[in-house]
Amino acid sequence: MSDFFDAQETRDPAAREAALMAALPGQVAHAQSACTAYTELLAGVVPADVNSRAALAQLPLTRKSSLAAAQAARRALRLGGFAAAAPRRIFQSPGPLYEPEPDTDGADPWRVARALHAAGIRAGQLAHVGFSYHLTPAGAMMEAGLRAIGAASFPGGVGNTELQLQALLDLQPEAYAGTPSLLRILLEKAAEGGHAVSLRRALVSGEACPPPLVAWFAERGVDVRQCYATADLGLIAYQTPAREGLVVDEGVIVEIVRPGTGDPLPDGEVGEVVVTTLSPGYPLIRFATGDLSAVMPGPSPCGRTNQRLRGWLGRADQSAKVRGMFVHAGQVAELIRRHPGVTRARLVIEGEMANDRLTLHAEAPAGSEEALTTTLRDITKLRAEVVLAAAGSLANDGKLIDDRRAI
């Protein structure tokens, strides 16, 4: 059994980057011509010029809110004008937001097979799928990936745990793909009944699976790996046997940007995950996920050479209401943009509702308090104390709004 899904995973990083940047102009041109929404969003953009990360960073972000608004306002257009082809299936996420199966003829449209393979699942095995098959695409995503690697699936879905446990005991699957919470419930119920289970490996997603829970599974003989995927984008990154971060999928371009902006951050800095897909059916360009992460230095010890993400580190869409006014991450990001000497900043809100205290903590040059106070008041219309911090002293966690008020 190969440790790698294909040769793409061990490519020279420079060759991979060159291939991605070579594919980017064609994807931009395709989105412009095939998607009404991108015809408008990318008006005036010359696709041939978008051949580097710097050029990509000049394009506007696409957010989930933009998709939902377009779908609500343009019901005559399929998926608000963001779909490039008539999809085979359409799914629903809370909102509601509708997502297509990304491609019309791909065997693994969400590219999940790579993550399943990294989790140790192989052809000929049976996997119990513990994701929903109702409305949302998670179950279909895993099933398509399993089929692509030649593995069989049992569509357990969610709920009906007694029936699922019976199937688990009757069918003796080697693998599991689903939420960690359902996997834990099934293992606990099996133990309560004195039953041994056959599961030895699992790919989990959709919920947090911290190290103590991973260790809990390992104690019961199940080697659990995690993946980061969304209904809009498919697979973004996945865990490998090295268990050092999540390796980025080969079919996407990932940027980390300062929350509230589209400005890329250096490797290691925590920011919002922005993804451009190379999927022809649903060519999302600079899709802002709202999730926080950071790029880890160097390649994975497992031998895969693509970028690595630290994993899910929180949400980027930070906001709070202060003295009747909303403040959000984009305003703090704008302050940083106006003052190049500021490396990091966060607006801390303390006290109680209607008796708020605002303090801007900023890594900035000495003597810049007055200028920062003026800029912050200009942007937010609120007064705040400014406290200067030493370079590198503020936490690298992507947080620009820190609401500490008592509820």
pLDDT digits (tens, 9 = 90+) for 368-396: 999 999 999 999 888 889 999 998 899 88
Provide CATH 3.40.50.12780 ranges for the chain.
1-96+246-316, 101-231
Structure-derived torsion over alpha carbons of residues 392, 396, 399, 403, reported in degrees to the nearest 10: -70
At the topology level, CATH places domain 101-231 in Rossmann fold (3.40.50)
Under DSSP, is residue 357 helix (H, G, I), strand (E, B) or coil? strand
Give the distance from CA 9 to its chain's centroid: 20
Block residue for tokens 């608004």: 69
pLDDT reported for residue 1: 39
CATH classification code of 319-403: 3.30.300.30
Residue identified by tokens 């696709």 is 47
Q: Any idea which residue has 């929903």 for tokens? A: 132
Per-residue pLDDT at 381: 86
Secondary structure letter of residue 60 according to DSSP: P
For the chain, residues with pLDDT lower than 70 are 1-2, 104-105, 324, 352-354, 406-407
Q: What confidence tens digit (pLDDT) does each residue in 8-55 have?
A: 999 999 999 999 999 999 999 999 999 999 999 999 999 999 999 999
Beta strand 90-93 with 308-309 is: unpaired
Q: How far apart are the first and last CA of the chain?
A: 55
d(CA 137, CA 116): 16
User: Is 1-96+246-316 a CATH 3.40.50.2300 domain?
Assistant: no
Which candidate, 168, 171, 210, 173, places its Cα nearest to that of 185? Answer: 168
**CA-closest candidate to residue 407, choices 335, 356, 336, 370:** 356
Instruction: Give the global pTM.
Output: 0.86
Which residue ranges does the chain devote to CATH 3.30.300.30? 319-403
